[in-house]
Each structure stands twice: as structure tokens, then as C-alpha cells.
Amino acid sequence: MRPAYWVPPVLWMAVILWLASDRGSAERTGWLVVPALRFFFPGASPVQLDAMHGVVRKLGHAVEYAVLAALWLRAFARAGGGLPRGRAAWRAWALAAAWALVDESYQATVGSRTGSALDVAIDAAGAFAVAAAGARGWRVTAEQITRSLLWVAAVGGALLLAINLVAGVESGVLWLTVPAAVLALTLFRRRRTSAAPPPTP
């Protein structure tokens, strides 16, 4: 395996382990994250800011392991002859999930940190999202996510419009976003139909 492929994921693993030390504790990240949250949510109470800080930290776990899985996926898929996409993706996920166990085990030895099974699950879920997308193909996954979000916008928006009409509440931008979502779904369907091979006689 050429260094150009394996060095980035190994370096990222070292960064993750460095963040598992006192450097990544809630007290250390709070000085940066909490003021930013206070700027975006000026009316938030200290308890709400603390809760949001916790959510940001959990999202950080998922993102750092999604990046790790993506880097290992790239390495396994391109190094040498390269593994098939599916095998490369699941090998990358297994390695990222194993590193999550190492990460949390190390955190349990740091005085200002705690090891958490929940964090291992969050880490593995972040890596799984990338591995699943990589195994299926990025374009297919992006289209499926886009279509799902459009359905949520169309159906959920239509329900909100109906509730607002009954309650006599202004719907504002929903009058634009709901028809736009329906139109986009229609275009998606037409493109799929036109791309489908003709039926065999």
C-alpha cells in the first residue's frame, strides 16, 4: 500500500487519539463552542447552551469517524489493485469501529474524560454512514437521500399547510417550498422513467 493512501488515515487516527486526551475534554472545547452557540442563540439559557454543547460534541464524534472511514475506504479501494467497493467499505468500517473502542478505552484512563459505550456507538454510526454510502455508490446514495428529503418536505409541508389553514396561522414560505418539493419529485420520477430500458417484446 503506497504511503499516499495509508498515511492520511493513520495520521487521522493519531489526531483522534490526541483529541481523546485532556485536549478534547468538555472544559477545553467549551471555551470555543459555547461562545459560538451564545452568538447564534442569544436567548438560550446556560442549561440550554450546555445541552447544545453536548450535542455538538456528539456530532463531532460521528464526523471524525465518518472522515476516518472515508480515508480508509479510499486507501483500501485504490491501493495496489484495489479491493472491490463493497469489501473496501466494510473493511474501512470495521477498522474505524475497532479504533472507536481503542479511543474510548484510552479516554477511560484520562482523568478529565470518561469512556462511553454510547460514544462507541455514535462513532461506529458515523463510520457506518460513510461505509454504507461507499458500498452502494456515492451517486446512488446522494439521490436516495435527496429523494427522501424531498418527500419529507412535500408530505410534512403539506400537513403543516393544512394545520396552519385550520388554525388560521400564516404559512409563509411553505407556499413556495411544498410545490417546489412536489415539482422536484415529479422531475426525479420522469428522469427515472426515461432512463429505464424499454420493455423487451
pLDDT of 13 reads 94
SS (H, E, C) 178-200: HHHHHHHHHHHHHHHHHHCCCCC
How do the pLDDT tens digits run along the chain, 201 residues long? 566 788 999 999 999 988 887 776 667 677 678 888 888 888 888 888 888 888 888 888 899 999 999 999 989 888 656 788 888 899 999 999 999 999 889 888 877 777 788 889 999 999 999 998 888 776 776 677 778 888 888 898 899 889 888 888 887 788 888 889 999 888 888 877 766 555 555
Q: What are 44-93's pLDDT values in tens digits?
A: 888 888 888 888 888 888 999 999 999 999 898 886 567 888 888 999 99
pLDDT of 10 reads 93
Q: Which DSSP string corresponds to 147-175?
A: HHHHHIIIIIHHHHHHHHHHHT---TTHH
pLDDT of 102 reads 93
Instruction: Name the residue with cell 488515515.
Output: 9
For residue 193, with 0-12 CB atoms within 10 Å meaning exposed, 13-18 middle and 19 or more buried, which class applies? exposed
Q: What pTM does this model have?
A: 0.67
pLDDT of 108 reads 84
pLDDT of 128 reads 92
Extract the C-alpha cell encoding 19.
483529541
Q: Are the C-beta atoms of 122 and 61 separated by less than 8 Å? A: yes
Extract the C-alpha cell encoding 27.
472544559
Cα 8 versus chain centre, distance: 20
102-103-106 Cα angle (round to 5): 85
- How many Cβ atoms sit within 10 Å of the Cβ of residue 103? 24
Q: Are the C-beta atoms of 74 and 82 separated by less than 8 Å? A: no
Element (DSSP H or E) covering residue 48: helix 46-78
Q: How far is the C-alpha of 63 from the C-alpha of 58, rounded, in Å? A: 9
The CA-to-CA distance between both ends of the chain, in Å, stands at 50
Element (DSSP H or E) covering residue 47: helix 46-78
